[in-house]
């Protein structure tokens, strides 16, 4: 059997998650699954950063609402690392539409609406690399060994 790839992915607790006090709950879920938080910061997203982050949606009719929302309040940006981190985080987050997200997922348990759906996560390794570069420099990453890594 092939060994799973250790990957790094980008995750953001969106303004609704921050304002509802869910940062700790969201991080707890990822850590309990065996993922490592190797970088993180509380920040406000500027309009310029929002345009870069969501560049693929810039021409879509919902972009102005998305930009207003993501710049409305602080977010918690983080880099998570672990085996198949991109796919694991996407599965843990659940469907983008909270009403379609399974119970037990972040969005299925915590999200209330489509745009304010608690978290954003990279959808591929390539997207993760692009998004991580928008928020972190190499100096921001703090490598460490979890005591349970041999089991993960």
Catalytic residue set: 120
Question: Considering only CA atoms, which of 34, 23, 49, 50 is closest in space to residue 150?
Answer: 34
Nearest-angstrom CA–CA distance, 74 and 81 = 23
Q: Which 8-state DSSP code applies to residue 55?
A: G
Decide: residue 131, CB within 10 A, 0-12 exposed, 13-18 middle, 19+ buried. buried
Sheet holding 6-13, edge to edge: 36-43, 75-83, 6-13, 119-121
Q: Which residue bears the tokens 């379609």? A: 100
79 bridge partner residues:
10, 39
HSE value, Cβ hemisphere, 13 Å, CA-based, for 97: 2
């Amino acid at each position: 059997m092939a060994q799973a790839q250790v990957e790094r992915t980008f995750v953001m607790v969106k303004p609704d998650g921050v304002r509802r006090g869910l940062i700790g709950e969201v991080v707890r879920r990822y850590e309990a699954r065996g993922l490592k938080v190797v970088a993180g910061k509380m920040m406000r997203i500027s309009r310029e950063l929002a345009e870069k982050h969501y560049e693929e949606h810039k021409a879509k009719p919902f972009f102005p609402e998305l930009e207003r929302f993501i710049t409305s309040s602080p977010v918690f940006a983080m880099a998570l690392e672990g085996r198949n981190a991109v796919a694991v985080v996407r599965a843990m987050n659940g469907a983008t539409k909270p009403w379609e997200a399974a119970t037990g997922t972040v969005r299925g348990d915590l999200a209330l609406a489509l745009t304010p759906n608690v978290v954003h996560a990279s959808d591929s390794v390539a997207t993760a690399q692009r998004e991580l570069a928008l928020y972190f420099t190499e100096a921001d990453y703090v490598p460490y060994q979890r005591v349970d890594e041999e089991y993960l």
